[in-house]
Amino acid sequence: MLYRGYREFGSNSTCPLPASSPYRSLSRVKIMDKTILPIIQSVAQKIVDDEHSFFIEDSLDNSEHIPKIKRIANSVNKFLKDHGVSKKDCDLIYNSIIEHGRKLFIEEWMKPIEGDDEPLNEEEAIEAFNDYLND
């Protein structure tokens, strides 16, 4: 039975929620239905968007910002694995979150800063992102 993006299995005899509760299925062991994956991916990317806005507004250091993106991707990845999503799908979503963060970082890096005559270099932005990501 599909309910709120989950396919459930197992006995419900130990479920502490009343039978009428709409959240009853969420308290049992479950496997994530693939139809919910794009929604989870979109939510994760929105979280990265908000983190990026915070990074820009509060002038955080790259060494703080990029590891946060990685932690967001790792948290989503762990959640999906814990809910029975295949490694292939977990990896696809993890990589899309990282790639989304990388794209935002590069876009910001490539914006000219008034009074800075140094030429902008996208390869430097990619290298910086990857260095902080892999630390």
Q: Which amino acid is at 134?
A: N
Lowest mean pLDDT among 24-28, 53-57, 100-104, 131-135: 24-28
The pLDDT tens digits of the residues spanning 83-122 come to 888 899 999 999 999 999 999 999 998 888 787 777 788 9
Exposure b/e, 21-49, CB count within 10 A at least 16 = b: eeebbeeeebebbeebbeebbeebbebbe
**Is residue 1's pLDDT more than 60?**
no
Rounded Cα distance between 112 and 92, Å, is 32
Rounded Cα distance between 119 and 86, Å, is 43
Report residue 123's pLDDT band, with 50, 70 and 90 as the boundaries. very high
The pLDDT tens digits of the residues spanning 34-89 come to 778 888 888 999 999 988 888 888 777 888 889 999 999 999 999 899 888 889 99
